[in-house]
Structure 1
Amino acid sequence: MASMSQKITTFLMFEGRAEEALTFYMSLFDDAEIVDISRYGGDGPGAEGTVERATFSLAGQRFMCIDSYVNHAFGFTPAVSLFVECDTEAELDRLYGALVEKGQELMPLGSYGFSAKFGWVNDRFGVSWQLNLQE
């Protein structure tokens, strides 16, 4: 039997833009907060002031993020996305507009037969979001 303290948390790895990303995400969702954040100091290994580790929550869901000080040959991929079930069409439209700005449209807002309205974007940081409005 699994331990009661065991948790699974979405973990996002950025390369220098973690704080910018989490601040942006927190501006979009209700019930958003930084739970904990630590930054690299002058002694590294990451660039001073960048995020060594942060925990934040959006709409009650916890996330973790870091700024990797190692350059990687990979980034985010739409094969893993954050799926947001929106309560209203206005909320879906607002989120879509904010997330697609300086990002990439994967599926424009529309009705695709499986819900009332749907859109899929990669945001300006490369994180993939699916936004859905049930019938």
Structure 2
Amino acid sequence: MSHRGRSIAAKRSLRPHLMFQGKLAEALALWERAFPDMALTRLDDGAGPPASVEVQLAGQTFTAFDSPPVHDFDFTPSVSHFVACPTQEDAETLAAILGKDGTILMPAGPYDFAPWFTGATGVNWQIEVAK
């Protein structure tokens, strides 16, 4: 790669973008309970429920929006938000909040990865105690 190419690449940024179908406000309320230090910036006109936002959870920034059209797809379990918690108690509390009314994809067990579940808003999570 040329010097110019590295310079341009160093100025790029990458962040996840989540598309909801009518559940953005519900997700934001849930995340606010789970992550009390959540930072939120509305990217829409600010009227009514949020339609487009920039969110920061546990130091990770991403954007999210509510799609007006209904699509034949939703979130896939192959992409999850992986959260490392400082204590077992914190991990259990966070999993209870985010997993309420959700679906367990892989329960806690004797393997080298975190329990994996889909929350009620369709977002996939893995919660573990930091090693």
TM-score category of the 2 structures, normalised to the smaller one: 0.7 to 0.9
* Alpha-carbon distance in structure 2 between the residues aligned to 1:70 and 1:16: 10
Tell me what 2:125 maps to: 129
Tell me what 1:28 maps to: 34
Tell me what 1:62 maps to: 61
Query: What stretches of structure 1 of length at least 5 have no aligned partner?
Result: 42-48
Please say if 1:14 is aligned against 2:34. Answer: no
Q: Pairwise CA RMSD of aligned residues?
A: 2.0
Structure number with higher helix proportion: 2
The structure-2 alpha-carbon separation of the partners of 1:50 and 1:15, relative to structure 1 and needing over 3 Å to count, comes to: farther
Tell me what 2:3 maps to: none
CA contact (8 A) 2:100 2:119 kept: yes
Matches within 5 A, 1:1-135: 1=6, 2-39=8-45, 49-112=48-111, 114=112, 118-135=114-131
* Alpha-carbon distance in structure 2 between the residues aligned to 1:68 and 1:40: 16
CA contact (8 A) 2:54 2:64 kept: yes
Q: How far 1:39 sits from its partner (Å)?
A: 4.9
Q: Deviation per CA, 1:73-117: give whole Å up to 9, x if none.
A: 0001111111111111001101111122110011223332x26xx
CA contact (8 A) 2:33 2:97 kept: no
* Alpha-carbon distance in structure 2 between the residues aligned to 1:65 and 1:102: 21
| TM-score, scaled relative to structure 1 | 0.81
Structure number with higher strand proportion: 1
| TM-score, scaled relative to structure 2 | 0.83
Aligned partner letter, 1:132:
E
Query: What stretches of structure 2 of length at least 5 have no aligned partner?
Result: 1-5
